[in-house]
Structure 1
Amino acid sequence: MSHRADKGGEGVNAPEALLSVQGLQKHFPVTKGLLKRQIGAVRAVDGVSFDVRQGETLGLVGESGCGKSTTGRLVTRLMEPTAGKIFFEGHDITHMSQSKIRPLRRDIQMIFQDPYSSLNPRHTVGAIVGAPFRIQGVQTEQGTKKAVQEILELVGLNPEHYNRYPHEFSGGQRQRIGIARTLALKPKMIIADEPVSALDVSIQAQVVNLLEDLQNELGLTYVIVAHDLSVIRHISDRVAVMYLGKIVELADRKSLYDSPMHPYTNALLSAVPIPDPARRKDRERIRLQGDVPSPLNPPPACRFHTRCWKAQVICKTEEPPLAELAPGHQVACHFPENVEQATAPAAAKVAQNVEEALHPKKPVV
């Protein structure tokens, strides 16, 4: 169990959203022939909406190819969105020009997945971590070298590593260098794309604890992209589950892990390893049939219906909206599970869907 305090619940005194994403889309065109005629588009992100409040951690989880990493790159404006809106501190940054977005880079930074390819092997650690100061033209009182050495010490590295090169470090140390570079300009928000997936399990815990300590000390806001539900449970306040470019469930950590409503979330949680053999026997393993459909031609209506054991006719004809079935718990499903947690109107709608599925209306001749 995590030792984090739940900060993600709704309330009167809940802080304003630092980041607000509304209907975000990213379609990659597929071309053919000499004239590069477009014949389709890969819908990597297809209508994603969420808010991230000051000081909280939002986890984005899902299978490979669900669009979670692309969402992170869109938020940091490393990619240009196809449609939708991105608001940071109330300002629309969706299509902001590069000249205007550069000062904003101080406030939104990204930790990349691979600590081996994200660091320039020709540059020293001092040059890598000091690059943000040089690019942004930021002057420090005691000089850039002193500032870089303080940041290295903050992330658990020796200040004497200033003149060393990336190849002289282990994977965990390289990721710490990447985190140090991210912290150089004291950002308000950090997007972490699979920050521990390339590391050994023993090192993963150290890096996750480091991220938590930095958040508490510096007041950071995180969006953590990961496929490891155990890591997300440990570090996140709220969790958004993505499937094929869409968010299918969004809730605070406790609600999602204790009472998951979407069948896909239940399948993901059933795959999390349990070290206790006695508890492992009591849990039912849900094995999804078939492969993830192609984002080039996703299934109509509910995109999960081709692999869902609860799918009915309505799932193939009508797309379920991302609706709030319980306080702070949003689900996009016609037949959610754990509906005893749902509010009365939501439970009534679910019951109506079940009744129509069991006793479909006959067409009028």
Structure 2
Amino acid sequence: MSTSKTPAEKVSVDKAPAGEPRPIREGENLLEVENLGKHFPVTAGLLRRQVAAVKAVDGVSFSVRKGETLGLVGESGCGKSTTGRMIMRLLDPSFGKITFEGQDITKMSQRRLRPLRRDLQMIFQDPYSSLNPRKTVGAIVGAPFRLQNLEAEQGVKKAVQEILELVGLNPEHYNRYPHEFSGGQRQRIGIARTLALKPKLIIADEPVSALDVSVQAQVVNLLEDLQDELDLTYVVIAHDLSVVRHISDRVAVMYLGKIVELADRTDLYERPMHPYTNALLSAVPIPDPAQRGERKRIRLQGDVPSPLDPPPACRFHTRCWKAQDICKQVEPPLVELSPGHQAACHFPENTTVSATDAVAKAAVAPGAAAAGDAGSASAADSAE
């Protein structure tokens, strides 16, 4: 094994001035995902031949602007975490394209990805299994410096202690082990490790689902404060719609490997268009008892279909109370039904325009024809 080392690069860990609002620059995308999919092969027999495929993610497209937070929500098994891991390139996509800062990273080699890891980081769901119990907090949070062969201006130990203080932990915790901390403190350690190299984009995979409700609020507020201080961009994966509403700027709703609705947070929660989104929102607890009687609880019939054999056309039609024959025959593309509000439904709610109508209008309007063709092509590619 070679003992030679390249000169370590100096990196500053100075904090941004507290209290400054994060700039959200319209039209300046940090991340773009186009028709992204992941099919896991199912093999059988002595020769382990592929006999089927689990379509965990089947053609999702979205973008994330610099400084904003995109919430990715849906039931367990809808493909949220798989999407996040593909963005991080922890999983190789089966098809589609991932663009980060204008650079295509979809098929980039691990050697070329290594320097980009500084700007792309992930907060994992379980604060208990994501930390090495044999390592001290100092070694865990300082690992990114060693892996990237970087040195902090005042030394790695000092940098780690500053980061621990930034996330609300005592700098003296440097020499302690993970088992000495509570779940919320462990998640703060995981966040500190993520922040070590001052990343630009953070994928937060269910960052508070394993924590108590009171601790959840603390961690969510911490993430918001860090975003303001460090000008971070988030993709927050969650199934708790209350958490997503609190922290997100825009929200994408996934069902069985596809995005069925994408809109500004306020617009989506006040005027949901897809029936599945309506069903999810009807299950969110209401703190005020006087208002609980005003909401009608929508109970979906049947179980979520298997991604091994998803329903044809609209994947939600087997559980949708508005489904008709066209829903079983034609897949509705994800198109803009109102300014900034996209949905994939033949019979959407809170609007008079359907996805089919939007595609037809796009085909007529010269400026929007390309967008309509792209949406139809994406749907066709996903169905193949």
Q: What TM-score results when the alignment is normalised by the length of structure 2?
A: 0.86
* Counterpart among 267, 275, 279 of residue 267 in structure 1: 279
Following TM superposition, by how much is the alpha carbon of 1:287 offset from its aligned partner in structure 2, in angstroms? 0.1
Q: What CA distance in whole angstroms lies between the structure 2 residues aligned with 1:104 and 1:28? A: 26
* Residues 1-365 of structure 1 aligned to structure 2 (within 5 Å): 14-339=26-351, 346=358
The amino acid that maps onto 2:160 is V
Tell me the equivalent position of 1:357: none
Q: What CA distance in whole angstroms lies between the structure 1 residues aligned with 2:286 and 2:152? A: 49
Following TM superposition, by how much is the alpha carbon of 1:18 offset from its aligned partner in structure 2, in angstroms? 0.3
Is the Cα–Cα contact under 8 Å of residues 22 and 229 in structure 2 kept in the other structure? no
Is the Cα–Cα contact under 8 Å of residues 335 and 359 in structure 2 kept in the other structure? no
Following TM superposition, by how much is the alpha carbon of 1:15 offset from its aligned partner in structure 2, in angstroms? 3.8
Q: What CA distance in whole angstroms lies between the structure 1 residues aligned with 2:144 and 2:73? A: 29
The secondary structure found in structure 2 opposite 1:99 is helix
Following TM superposition, by how much is the alpha carbon of 1:346 offset from its aligned partner in structure 2, in angstroms? 4.0
Identity %: 80
Is the Cα–Cα contact under 8 Å of residues 22 and 227 in structure 2 kept in the other structure? no
Provide the alpha-carbon RMSD of the alignment: 1.9
The secondary structure found in structure 1 opposite 2:293 is helix
Is the Cα–Cα contact under 8 Å of residues 6 and 237 in structure 1 kept in the other structure? no
The secondary structure found in structure 1 opposite 2:152 is coil
Is the Cα–Cα contact under 8 Å of residues 339 and 347 in structure 1 kept in the other structure? no
Q: What TM-score results when the alignment is normalised by the length of structure 1?
A: 0.91
The amino acid that maps onto 1:178 is G
Is the Cα–Cα contact under 8 Å of residues 348 and 354 in structure 2 kept in the other structure? no
Is the Cα–Cα contact under 8 Å of residues 31 and 38 in structure 1 kept in the other structure? yes
The amino acid that maps onto 1:31 is T
Is the Cα–Cα contact under 8 Å of residues 346 and 354 in structure 2 kept in the other structure? no
The amino acid that maps onto 1:105 is R
The secondary structure found in structure 1 opposite 2:260 is strand
The secondary structure found in structure 2 opposite 1:14 is coil
The secondary structure found in structure 1 opposite 2:150 is coil
The secondary structure found in structure 2 opposite 1:211 is helix
Q: What CA distance in whole angstroms lies between the structure 2 residues aligned with 1:68 and 1:158? A: 33
Q: What CA distance in whole angstroms lies between the structure 2 residues aligned with 1:289 and 1:7? A: 43
Is the Cα–Cα contact under 8 Å of residues 172 and 203 in structure 1 kept in the other structure? yes
Following TM superposition, by how much is the alpha carbon of 1:278 offset from its aligned partner in structure 2, in angstroms? 1.3
Following TM superposition, by how much is the alpha carbon of 1:341 offset from its aligned partner in structure 2, in angstroms? 8.3
Is the Cα–Cα contact under 8 Å of residues 324 and 331 in structure 1 kept in the other structure? yes
Following TM superposition, by how much is the alpha carbon of 1:277 offset from its aligned partner in structure 2, in angstroms? 1.4
The amino acid that maps onto 2:289 is P
